[in-house]
Amino acid sequence: MRAAQAFLRDLAYAAGDGPAALARFWPQALRYRYPRRHLVEAWTGEGAAFARYATPQGPVFLKYLPAGWRDPRAYRRLAREGRFLRDLAPGLPVAHAPLLDLALDRARARAHLLTRDLTGETTGWGALNSDSAREAALHDIVRLLARFHAHWAGPGQGALTGRWAWRPDEVLTQAQAIAGAAVGNEAPILQRAAQALPALLEAAPLVTLVHGDIHSGQVLWRDGEPVLIDYGQVHPSVPGEDLAHLLAVRLSPAERTRLGPALRNTYREALAEAGLSLSPAQVQAQERAGTALNLLSTAGQAGHSTGSGVQEALAFVMQAWNELD
């Protein structure tokens, strides 16, 4: 009964000025802006719902929290993505889907964002049909990361204030909490990582914005050029957090061993092309700090998720850490 009541309240709220709650029923302001729209497809994912539309103004993509949902974590991610696209992304020299509309209601944990739909003009990882094409695409991804990192460590640094400011004390406190809650065989490894983290961060002083969840599914290709999507976990950190996430969390140990050296070189070269020169030793220090951060954050996720994906990711990054430790 309560779930049904929450669903109906969300629908009534969305009919006025509230964030969208259903794919077929938009808030009043959006209906006025897009009076003629055709729903192409709609689906619900793990942390949000999605819908694509054809409109006279061009194709648009809606990401929202469905009616009846009460998920504070999903709200925080969607709100973070929307604020990034609204406040920071317009000056970003990395291709992305531009924001068209954002609605946030923190009190009700309701949110939506509307962007241009890139589906018809891009291809994804699944369209790559050979190992060589996929390896080339990984190099595209690290070049994209390098441009992203170089911008926020350089000309974009002045925008990293307020909610976007780097707060290492909070990072270290969270790391200690994750390590302190660990049990079993993983506990000593996580505790060593948390204990080492202050020195690792001190050895990698460069700070930027990181994507936070970089993998092959977060990049599209348009006319051969990569487009970065899904900014729900973007946050200030050391750039090595993204590099280590790709190499240590998303690649298997065998893939990391085979592909890692060339990908690191490509990343460093692309950083230099974007105006940020790091030595191989500095990139290594970044990756070490980033591996510790990813180990601890992945362990935190595994603590409240028994899914095979997060457990596999934890095994991958734990092996990477053991190789560094």
Q: Percent of the chain, pLDDT > 70?
A: 95
Express each pLDDT in 148-180 by its tens digit: 999 999 999 999 999 999 999 999 999 999 999
> Which among 230, 251, 244 is positioned nearest to 297, based on CA atoms?
244
Report the relative pairing of strands 235-237 and 208-210 from DSSP bridges.
Answer: antiparallel
Nearest to 229 by CA among 52, 58, 116, 97: 97
* Residue 10: band (very low, low, confident or very high) from pLDDT cuts 50, 70, 90: low
Look at residues 282, 285, 259, 258 and name the one whose alpha carbon lies nearest to residue 272: 282
Residue 21 has phi, psi (to 5 degrees) of: -130, -15
Task: State the burial class of residue 201 (Cβ atoms within 10 Å of its Cβ: 0-12, 13-18, 19+).
Answer: buried
Which of these, 83, 116, 77, lies nearest to 100 by C-alpha position? 116
The answer to whether the Cα torsion of 172, 194, 178, 231 is positive or negative is positive
What pLDDT, on a 0 to 100 scale, did the predictor assign at position 94? 95
Structure tokens at 322: 């053991």
Q: Distance between CA 227 and CA 148 in Å, rounded?
A: 11
pLDDT of the residue at 302? 86
Residue 228 and residue 242: Cα distance in Å, rounded?
13
pTM for this structure?
0.93
Task: Tell me if domain 2-120 and domain 123-324 are identical in fold.
Answer: no
* Structure tokens belonging to residue 273: 């092309």
Homologous superfamily (CATH) of 123-324 is: Aminoglycoside phosphotransferase (APH), C-terminal lobe (3.90.1200.10)
Confidence band of 8 (pLDDT split at 50, 70, 90): low
pLDDT of 17 over the 80 cut: no
Q: Retrieve residue 179's tokens.
A: 């390590």
Dist. CA 61–CA 37, nearest whole Å = 11
Is residue 274 within 8 A of residue 150, CB to CB? The reply is yes
Superfamily of domain 2-120: Phosphorylase Kinase; domain 1 (3.30.200.20)
C-beta atoms surrounding 136 within 10 Å: 11
Instruction: Classify strands 49-54 and 60-64 as parallel, antiparallel or unpaired.
Output: antiparallel
The helix/strand/coil state of 54 is strand
Contact 294, 248 (CB under 8 A): yes
Q: pLDDT tens for residues 228-252? A: 999 999 999 999 999 999 999 999 9
Domain boundaries, the chain: 2-120, 123-324
pLDDT in tens, 133-145: 999 999 999 999 9
- Phi, psi dihedrals of residue 11, rounded to the nearest 5°: -65, -45
